[in-house]
Chain A
Amino acid sequence: MTAEAGLHVENVTKRYGALVALDAIDATFFPGEIHAVLGENGAGKSTLMGILTGFVTPDSGSVTYNGAPIPVGRAFECKKIGIEMIHQHFTLVSAFTVAENLALARLPSLYSLAHVRDRAKPSLAAAERLGWAVDPEARIRDLSVGALQRIEILKALGGDARVLVFDEPTAVLSPDEVDDLFRVLRQLRDEGRIIVLIAHKLSEVMAVADRVTVLRKGKWIATSPLAETNQTQLATWMVGELPVGHVARSSGGGQPGIVAKGLSVKGDRGEDSVRNVSFEIRRGEIVGFGGVDGNGQVELAEALLSIRARTGDITFAGVPVSPDHLRIAYIPQDRQTDGLAMGMSIEDNLLVTGHRNLSLRRGPLLIAKRVHAWARGLVERFGIKASSPEEMVSSLSGGNQQKVVVSRALESQPDLLIVLNPTRGLDIKATEYVHEKMIEARNGGAAIALFTTDLDELYALADRVLFLSRGELREEGGAAALVGASR
């Protein structure tokens, strides 16, 4: 092994517009080690992984593998030199058999007509070596999620990958499957491969990694052998120091608001996302739900809105929550998928809540004049930078798009306000404004559920703080609980 063996990342920077996704990152991944890259959503993990595997071209810096620069930004070329990525969302053809999918990893040239079985052979051999029973004739669509991931890994091994980058591989697995995956990761490591594990769950990193690199907000924070660190240390690296000296402001003495009892919610894949949680948010109170993304926030928020199926009771002032007799406003997590109609104007997007507003319509008709004036007023009051409300929302910057979502939610003077990461991507001024408006809504008697991964925001706004960890609520934070350390 030469000094240069391994995958070296040097001084790599990647910007998306004004956002610095990676800021002069250095990292080295050695053969024969499982190297975890740890960080919250938005820390830059995905970008780094994209650069390693050729899906993303860095703005500056270099990546070398065994001393030679990798073909940056060219995923197919990277595959050829043995760098493979195991995607979180599987890249399998569901109508094909296992063997056919495995054969895809080794495309024949135009002139050679290798049989599917022959081309799948190296992958099937790898399966045997790893102790996996695989039926080559099974159809992909009939397999479980855990099995699919195995096929995905075998596909990579069929091309004799030397570097395997795993993108949050345990997200979809059951505990037994996780243990089996870890066993395989170790075996692949012992075969001298480089294993890169992208993760945000501390417990898994503790269980399997040899070395850890922590990123936060695009910056390199630390790299350390696992043995020389501990959970608390890693958690602090991930989320920063917890703000100290926080005092609860509200005694929760307002009128009764939303009460959730024994709430359980399933996620999109049918997994248990929220498990038997109970809490109360009174009017005039902001309850903050902290915790890292993917611990049940979206599912719990949507259940509170009654737009996702659930078991358990939700009432507001004693009656079931329903948009008919309650003003409910929602600031979703992902503005582009759930918040905005990108093909429509700013005004049309404001109307998402505004079209219920009785002062803007006469019976079924919208009164154009009043709608225009109302929209212009909101654009001005919330400082949405646009030439006119008729401008397409897609032409706005991310921050201004978020302002559209926030302004229409707060404008309706809601009784119940559900908010997910409301200031993501906003500048300081806009952030302060949104915070101010939320406090205003709180003082106006709204019951507010604030889901945020930003600790500063959580402690700045919330009257009471709860933490979501793997779909369960805990009263006490602590850095370790934040990142879902318990299993």
Chain B
Amino acid sequence: MKLWNVAGMAVGLVLVLVLTLAVFGLPVGPSLALIGEGAFGDKFAIARTLVKATPLVLTGLGMVVAWKGGMYNIGGEGQYIIGAMFAATVVKGVLPNPHPLFGPLILVAAVVGGAGYGLLAGWLYVARGVEVVISTILLNFVAVQLLRYAVTGPLQEAKRQVPESDLVPKALALAKFDRQMDLHIGTFIALAMVVVVWLFLFYTRAGYRIRLVGDNRNVARANFIPAGRVQLLSMAVSGGLCGLAGGIDYLGPAGQLGFNFPQDWGFLGIPIALLAGLNPAGVVPAALYFGALFAGSDNLARYTTAGPTMIFVIQAVAVLGFVGLSTLRLRRKTAAAGAD
């Protein structure tokens, strides 16, 4: 049954891709070939897919943790940006003496930044009753403006000519396996986090409490579980994961902060988490699918008129289809329960 669901979803995602190509007026066969080549054609293509999927895995995980706790965090983008800014601040601080051992410290700073930003929204909800959806959306805008301020002010490059930060020195950049390939160690950090989050949610007391509060706050209340504190934790973990994504992108593919640093990975974490059925393990295939699409469509764009717009259409259609299906399933289930 469960296997069928996964298989059905995979078929559905491919169908959505084919349909979208047709709607965009592209020849389906050749286009698929171009996408496939761009995503999996050679080891460089595979590396590009993995690099694109890396932040998606982390922000997807972040959304899973928050949403499991009943906190509808839409602020992955802001947490991603603040995480990267914290990382950049530490980099600037250690610039005179860039030793590779500072790497972990920088990533920890990214986690702390993202977690703090997530906590802010969590606190607004728990202490002040501000809906998380609203506050996190608005905090995204705040983060974008903070970034613009930072790269034209305190974090601007030494010559103060362009609105960008200094390049991350080689010693601090994420380790790569091959000079010509994009693949960096951040991808493996992200995969490790999948296991960590999975263990956290299903094999720790705190993770259990997050799932319980997200499912039924009343049960938590009736059993002396402090729901507010639990939800704060879920927001902190969620923001921390998004912040880590920002830190990794900053130390890896981007290499510096600038106006165009945010690439919507924080937002894309939401459809990833939904497609994953809020299951940490499901985040990996969902992120890989869209990572491959991004990598593949770059290749497609080189030969045709299609651009990344198409991917967003595919994402939207896939998520709507998925949400529609789950709603149908839920309705059928409640109808069956109602007859009981």
Query: Does any Cβ of B come within 8 Å of A368's Cβ?
Result: yes
Interface membership of A421, Cβ < 8 A: no
Are the C-beta atoms of A351 and B223 separated by less than 8 Å?
no
Name which of B212, B218, B223 has the most chain A CB atoms within 10 A of its CB.
B223
List the one stretch of B11-19, B203-211, B239-247 in contact with chain A: B203-211
Q: How far is the CA of A398 from the CA of B221 in the complex (A)?
A: 22
Please give me the residue from chain A that is nearest to B215 by CB atom: A341
Name the B residues within 8 Å of A302 (CB-CB).
222
Partner of A16, one of B203, B205, B340: B340
* B219 within 8 A of partner (CB): yes
Answer whether residue B337 sits at the interface, using C-beta atoms and an 8 A cutoff: yes
- Contact partners of A397 in chain B: CB under 8 A: 340
Is A344 within 8 A of B203, CB to CB? no
Interface readout for A110-152 with B: 1 if CB under 8 Å, 0 if not?
Answer: 0000000000000000000000000000000000000000000
The secondary structure that dominates the A interface is mixed
Per-residue 0/1 for A349-382: is the Cβ within 8 Å of any B Cβ (1 yes, 0 no)?
0011101000001001110100000000000000
Q: Is A394 an interface residue (CB 8 A)?
A: yes
Q: How far is the CB of A314 from chain B (nearest CB, A)?
A: 15
* A302 to B218 CA separation, bound complex (whole angstroms): 12
CB contact between B205 and one of A343, A348, A364, A398 (< 8 Å): that residue: A364
B223→A330 contact, CB < 8 A: yes
**In the complex, are the beta carbons of A338 and B222 less than 8 A apart?**
yes
B219, A341: Cβ atoms closer than 8 Å: yes
Report the Cα distance A311→B273, complex, angstroms: 45
Closest CB of chain A to B217's CB: distance in Å? Answer: 10
- Kindly state the separation between the CA atoms of A361 and B206 in the bound complex, as whole angstroms: 12
Q: Which of B209, B215, B224, B339 contacts A343 (CB 8 A)?
A: B215
State whether the Cβ of A337 lies closer than 8 Å to any Cβ in chain B: yes
- Whether the Cβ atoms of B212 and A344 lie closer than 8 Å is yes
- A478 CB–B CB distance under 8 Å: no
A395 and B175 alpha carbons, distance in the complex (Å): 49
With both beta carbons as reference points, the residue of chain B lying nearest to A365 in the complex is identified as B204
B216 contacts partner chain A, Cβ-Cβ < 8 Å: yes
A337 to B220: give the CA distance in the assembly, Å.
11
CA distance A340 to B218 in the complex (A): 9
Q: Which residues of B contact A398 (CB under 8 A)?
A: 340
Minimum CB–CB distance from B227 to chain A (whole Å) comes to 11
By a CB distance below 8 angstroms, the chain A residues around B215 are: 341-344
List, in ascending order, chain B residues with CB within 8 A of A361's CB: 205
Residue A69 at the B interface, CB < 8 A? Answer: no
A307 contacts which chain B residues (CB < 8 A)?
Answer: 221-222, 224
Question: Does residue A332 face the partner (Cβ distance < 8 Å to B)?
Answer: yes
Separation of A340 and B337 alpha carbons in the complex (Å): 15
A348 to B333, CA, bound (A): 20
Cβ of A239 < 8 Å from any Cβ of B? no
Looking across the interface, which residue of chain A has its beta carbon closest to that of B338?
Answer: A16
Asked if B211 and A344 sit within 8 Å, CB to CB, the answer is: yes
Bound together, the chains give a CA A328 to CA B223 distance in angstroms of 9
Question: Which residue of chain B is the closest to A302 with respect to CB atoms?
Answer: B222
Chain A residues within an 8 Å CB radius of B337? 394
Question: Bound complex: CA of A342 vs CA of B222, how far in Å?
Answer: 15
B218 touches A337 (CB 8 A): yes
* Chain B residue with the shortest CB-CB distance to A409: B223
Q: Is the Cβ of B209 less than 8 Å from the Cβ of A355?
A: yes
Interface string of B301-338 (1 = CB under 8 A from A): 00000000000000000000000000000000100010
Select from chain A the residue with minimum beta-carbon distance to B339: A17
Is B208 a contact partner of A364 (Cβ separation < 8 A)?
A: no
> Any chain B CB within 8 A of the CB of A426?
no
CB of B208 within 8 A of CB of A368, answer: no
How distant is A309 from chain B, measured CB to nearest CB, in Å?
A: 13
Are A339 and B222 within 8 A (Cβ)?
yes
Decide: A330 near B222, CB < 8 A? Known: A366-B204, A394-B337.
yes
How many angstroms between the C-alpha atoms of A305 and B219 in the bound complex?
Answer: 13
Q: Smallest distance from the beta carbon of B340 to chain A beta carbons, Å? A: 5
* Cβ A340 vs Cβ B204 within 8 A: no
**Is A312 located at the chain interface by the 8 A CB criterion?**
no
Bound: A133/B79 CA distance, A: 55
Could you say which residues of chain A place their CB within 8 Å of the CB of B209? 355
Given B212, B223, B340, which contacts A348 in the complex, CB threshold below 8 Å? B212
Q: Which residues of A contact B224 (CB under 8 A)?
A: 305, 307, 323, 328
Residues A338 and B205 in contact in the complex (CB < 8 Å), given A348-B211, A348-B212, A397-B340: no
> Which residues does chain B contribute within 8 Å of A342, judged by CB atoms?
215-216
Q: Of all chain A residues, which has the CB nearest B199?
A: A365
Contacts of A16 in B (CB 8 A): 340
Q: How far is the CA of A341 from the CA of B216 in the complex (A)?
A: 5
Q: Residue B223 contacts which of A343, A353, A364 (CB distance < 8 angstroms)?
A: A353
Shortest distance between the CB of B152 and any CB in chain A (Å): 43
Q: Is the CB of B340 within 8 A of A366?
A: no
Complex interface: chain A residues within 8 A of B206 (CB): 364
In the assembled complex, which residues on chain A have CB atoms less than 8 Å from the CB atom of B333? 394
B201: min CB distance to chain A, Å? 11
Could you tell me the distance in whole angstroms from the C-beta of A9 to the nearest C-beta in chain B? 24
Q: Which residues of A contact B219 (CB under 8 A)?
A: 338-341, 352
Alpha-carbon gap, A274 to B337, bound state (A): 35
Residues from chain A with Cβ under 8 Å of B204 in the complex: 364-366
**B216 in contact with A355 (CB, 8 Å):** no
Compute how far the CA of A341 lies from the CA of B222 in the bound complex, rounded to whole angstroms: 12
Is there contact, CB below 8 Å, between B212 and A341? yes
| Shortest Cβ gap from B246 to chain A (Å) | 27
- Is B212's CB under 8 angstroms from A352's CB? yes
14 pairs from A and B in contact (CB 8 Å cutoff): A17-B339, A338-B222, A342-B216, A343-B215, A343-B216, A344-B211, A344-B212, A348-B211, A352-B212, A364-B206, A365-B203, A368-B203, A394-B333, A397-B340
Interface residues of B (CB under 8 A from A): 203-206, 208-209, 211-212, 215-216, 218-219, 221-224, 333, 337, 339-340
